[in-house]
């Protein structure tokens, strides 16, 4: 049966909730409590209506297809109201009022956490679709019945027309959806954000929602966001995970960041995570843990590229290409002998401009500025300022390379607000 609607009409959820439901004979059914949508689509269609029957406590559901007209009243096809049953929300469905209204959402376009004041729906022929989220003052005033009065006041007092503040649904990530913990990188819009923006969003949330959102992320995205998050919040997020899950995430972090995090955790928790980590990664992290955080040994990363002097440029580029995902540094390639003595350094620019068969021994600069593992942050900062390097190698008393300090790692200690 066709719905008697104009081709395209916009409605707000607040205009539908509480609406009286009658059948085509005029017999009253009750009032609208909520709308059900299928959340898998870009603009979710309404598939069901929840309503409270007259004189009953139970909340019942009927299909959107039963609706004949949606005007001052919601008119449905004639049927026995007793045949309507309580139907639980299925996987992939969302209750608009219960899951979204007054809840926090993430605007993934603007990378902000916002509160939902209303929902904007579009009627097209026989369907009703969720198209926008209203996060503005006007949406809140509409719900309490003050919209027109507020419009008049703003026009009179400020000579300003208060507009709706709408965000397209395709940019929205709900934080109260029952499906949140089942989302993965292909569907989760949070995973498309820059890690620094995602970290800011996680920090804005309360402790329970923060953990819920963090645990909805895939391992790689969680690790990237964790590296950009405040250290105190890092600890709380990891403390809520079992050691196996925590180890999977920490293994994806840079060794220096992983060491800093584990160093802030309770000893028992840190040891449990280290036991679950891959042996080689765990050994690298343990090596960094023995150094104070504000000394060179605590600032360095052990994930850097190094090759022998006899390697040629083509081999070096192939090595960087193959290992790039696992390296914290690719600005420079360090030339070392079999005992890891530091012989020289080659910049990425030099590699790109040199002949593919040229050896690293002929290309390297042997005048390498280094620091010891016990060097303090002030002296390291002075060297970065003096030479303008992107990274400085750390060596022991025998000139064996132990790690590399990147400029970003230094900033995180010297100026945390800039380093994160």
Q: What is the mean pLDDT of residues 118-131?
A: 87
pLDDT attached to residue 185: 32
Q: Kindly report the CATH number assigned to the domain that includes residue 259.
A: 1.25.60.10
Task: Please say if the pLDDT value at position 331 is more than 60.
Answer: yes
Q: What is the mean pLDDT of residues 300-320?
A: 94
User: What does the pLDDT look like over 69-122, one tens digit per residue?
Assistant: 888 888 888 776 656 666 667 777 888 898 888 887 776 655 667 778 899 899
Does residue 167 sit in the same domain as residue 222?
A: no
% residues pLDDT > 90 (the chain): 33
pLDDT attached to residue 136: 75
Does residue 41 sit in the same domain as residue 158?
A: yes
pLDDT attached to residue 190: 64
Task: Please say if the pLDDT value at position 369 is more than 90.
Answer: yes
Query: Which of 177, 198, 213 is the last residue in one of the domains?
Result: 177
% residues pLDDT > 70 (the chain): 83
Asked whether residue 158 is domain-assigned, the answer is: yes
How far apart (Å, rounded) are the C-alpha atoms in residues 129 and 244? 41
Does residue 78 sit in the same domain as residue 192?
A: no
How far apart (Å, rounded) are the C-alpha atoms in residues 264 and 12? 48
Query: Which of 242, 265, 290 is the last residue in one of the domains?
Result: 290
**Per-residue b or e along 54-65, where b marks 16 or more CB atoms closer than 10 Å to that residue's CB:** eeeeeebbbebe
pLDDT attached to residue 183: 33
Asked whether residue 219 is domain-assigned, the answer is: yes
Task: Please say if the pLDDT value at position 253 is more than 70.
Answer: yes
Which DSSP string do the residues of 41-76 spell out, in sequence order? SSSPBEEEEEEEETT--S-EEEEGGGEEEESSSEEE
Answer with the residue of higher pLDDT: 153 or 364: 364
Number of domains in the chain: 3
Does residue 2 sit in the same domain as residue 139?
A: yes
Does residue 172 sit in the same domain as residue 73?
A: yes
Does residue 279 sit in the same domain as residue 327?
A: no
Task: Please say if the pLDDT value at position 393 is more than 90.
Answer: yes
Answer with the residue of higher pLDDT: 345 or 39: 345
Asked whether residue 19 is domain-assigned, the answer is: yes
User: What does the pLDDT look like over 183-209, one tens digit per residue?
Assistant: 333 345 666 677 887 888 788 777 777
Asked whether residue 96 is domain-assigned, the answer is: yes
Does residue 220 sit in the same domain as residue 112?
A: no
Q: Kindly report the CATH number assigned to the domain that includes residue 37.
A: 2.30.30.240
What residue numbers bound the domain in which 349 lies?
Answer: 306-419
Query: Which position has the token pair 């309507």?
Result: 84
Does residue 53 sit in the same domain as residue 150?
A: yes
pLDDT attached to residue 162: 60
Does residue 163 sit in the same domain as residue 197?
A: no
Q: What angle do CA 37, 39, 40 make, to 5 degrees?
A: 135
Task: Please say if the pLDDT value at position 1 is more than 50.
Answer: no
Query: Which of 177, 200, 226 is the last residue in one of the domains?
Result: 177
User: What does the pLDDT look like over 15-27, one tens digit per residue?
Assistant: 899 899 988 888 8
Task: Please say if the pLDDT value at position 181 is more than 60.
Answer: no
The full length of the chain comes to 420
Q: What is the mean pLDDT of residues 378-402?
A: 92
pLDDT attached to residue 308: 96
pLDDT attached to residue 396: 92
Does residue 321 sit in the same domain as residue 401?
A: yes
Answer with the residue of higher pLDDT: 248 or 27: 248
Asked whether residue 311 is domain-assigned, the answer is: yes
8 Å CB contact between 13 and 119: yes
pLDDT attached to residue 189: 61
pLDDT attached to residue 66: 87
Q: What is the mean pLDDT of residues 48-53?
A: 88
Q: Which residues, at least 6 apart from 228, have a Cβ–Cβ distance to it below 8 Å? A: 195, 196, 198, 199, 420
pLDDT attached to residue 112: 66
Strand partners for 122 = 10, 129
8 Å CB contact between 383 and 389: yes
Task: Please say if the pLDDT value at position 179 is more than 50.
Answer: no
pLDDT attached to residue 41: 81
pLDDT attached to residue 87: 66
Asked whether residue 296 is domain-assigned, the answer is: no
Does residue 127 sit in the same domain as residue 198?
A: no
Does residue 238 sit in the same domain as residue 154?
A: no
User: What does the pLDDT look like over 265-306, one tens digit per residue?
Assistant: 999 999 999 999 999 889 888 888 888 877 888 889 888 999
Q: Kindly report the CATH number assigned to the domain that includes residue 343.
A: 3.10.580.10
pLDDT attached to residue 245: 93
Answer with the residue of higher pLDDT: 410 or 277: 277
* Helices marked H in 205-345: 207-216, 219-227, 231-239, 243-251, 255-264, 267-276, 279-289, 296-299, 313-323
Asked whether residue 65 is domain-assigned, the answer is: yes
Asked whether residue 295 is domain-assigned, the answer is: no
């Amino acid at each position: 049966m066709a719905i008697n609607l104009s081709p395209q009409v916009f409605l707000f959820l607040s205009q539908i909730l509480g609406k009286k439901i009658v059948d085509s004979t005029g017999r009253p059914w009750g009032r609208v409590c909520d709308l059900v949508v299928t959340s898998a689509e870009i603009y979710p269609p309404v598939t069901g209506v929840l309503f409270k029957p007259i004189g009953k406590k139970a909340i019942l559901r009927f299909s959107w297809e039963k609706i004949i007209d949606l005007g001052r009243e919601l008119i449905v096809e004639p049927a026995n109201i007793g045949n309507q049953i309580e139907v639980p929300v299925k996987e992939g469905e969302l209750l608009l009022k219960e899951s979204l209204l007054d809840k926090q959402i993430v605007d993934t376009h603007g990378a902000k956490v916002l509160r939902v004041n209303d929902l904007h729906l579009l009627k097209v022929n026989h369907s009703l679709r969720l198209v926008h989220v209203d996060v503005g003052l006007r949406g809140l005033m509409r719900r309490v019945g003050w919209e027109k009065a507020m419009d008049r006041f703003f026009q009179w007092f400020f000579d300003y027309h208060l507009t709706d503040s709408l965000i397209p649904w395709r940019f929205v990530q709900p934080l109260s959806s029952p499906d949140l913990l089942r989302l993965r990188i292909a569907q989760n819009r949070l995973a498309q954000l820059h890690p620094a923006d995602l970290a800011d969003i996680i920090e804005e949330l309360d402790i329970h929602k923060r953990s819920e959102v963090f645990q909805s992320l895939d391992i790689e995205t969680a690790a990237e966001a964790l590296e950009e998050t405040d250290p105190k919040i890092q600890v709380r997020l990891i403390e809520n995970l079992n050691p196996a899950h925590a180890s999977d995430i920490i293994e994806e972090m840079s060794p220096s960041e992983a060491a800093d995090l584990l160093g802030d955790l309770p000893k028992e928790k840190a040891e449990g995570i280290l036991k679950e980590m891959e042996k080689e990664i765990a050994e690298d992290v343990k090596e960094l843990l023995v150094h104070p955080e504000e000394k060179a040994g605590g600032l360095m990363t052990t994930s850097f590229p190094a090759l022998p002097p006899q390697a040629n440029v083509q081999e070096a580029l192939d090595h960087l290409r193959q290992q790039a995902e696992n390296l914290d540094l690719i600005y420079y390639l360090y030339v070392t002998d079999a005992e890891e003595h530091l012989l020289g350094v080659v910049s990425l620019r030099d590699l790109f401009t040199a002949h593919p068969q040229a050896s690293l021994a002929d290309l390297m600069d042997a005048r390498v500025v280094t620091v010891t593992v016990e060097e303090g942050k002030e002296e390291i900062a002075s060297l970065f300022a003096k030479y303008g390097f992107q990274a400085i190698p750390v060596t022991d008393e025998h000139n064996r390379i132990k790690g590399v300090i990147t400029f970003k790692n230094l900033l995180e200690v010297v100026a945390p607000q800039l380093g994160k």
